[in-house]
Amino acid sequence: QKEVEQNSGPLSVPEGAIASLNCTYSDRGSQSFFWYRQYSGKSPELIMFIYSNGDKEDGRFTAQLNKASQYVSLLIRDSQPSDSATYLCAGSIKAAGNKLTFGGGTRVLVKP
């Protein structure tokens, strides 16, 4: 079982809609979680981090963490074509010595 798993997509979203991305992790003792955005040919850019159960909002982005169910999600409201990118979920996975472990990423396509 992979330590951090994401659906590779692509997730196709109409402009203005909500994009919902999910990520699951294997180790219940894991603490901090991060969402990165990576445009094609570019490096990952940190957009959100969360370590408490519940929701965390930053502009059009909302991260949700549910430690009991071991999943993290990212909602992108009012999706724009510029949001088209690969979104990487990463977690501080206890079983991996608290290293930052990345999922494979979900590709998001926002269509005008």
Partner 1 sequence: ETGVTQTPRHLVMGMTNKKSLKCEQHLGHNAMYWYKQSAKKPLELMFVYNFKEQTENNSVPSRFSPECPNSSHLFLHLHTLQPEDSALYLCASSQGGLAGAPGQFFGPGTRLTVL
Of 12 and 52, the one with the shorter C-beta distance to partner 1 is 52
| DSSP per-residue letters across 45-64 | EEEEEE-SSEEEEETTEEEE
Smallest gap from Cβ 34 to partner 1, in A, equals 5
- Give the Å distances, CA to CA, from 27 to 39, 43, 72: 29, 27, 13
Beta carbon of residue 87, minimum distance to partner 1 (angstroms, whole number): 13
Q: How far is the CB of 71 from partner 1 (least distance, A)?
A: 17
How far is 47 from 52, CA to CA, in rounded Å? 16
Of 37 and 62, which has the nearer Cβ to partner 1?
37
Where do contacts with partner 1 occur on this chain (CB under 8 A)? 4, 31-32, 34, 36, 42-46, 49, 51, 88, 90-92, 97-105
DSSP state of 30: -
* Residue number, 61 or 102, with CB nearest to partner 1: 102
Residue from 95, 87, 94 nearest 22 by CA: 87
User: Shortest Cβ distance from residue 112 to partner 1 (Å)?
Assistant: 27
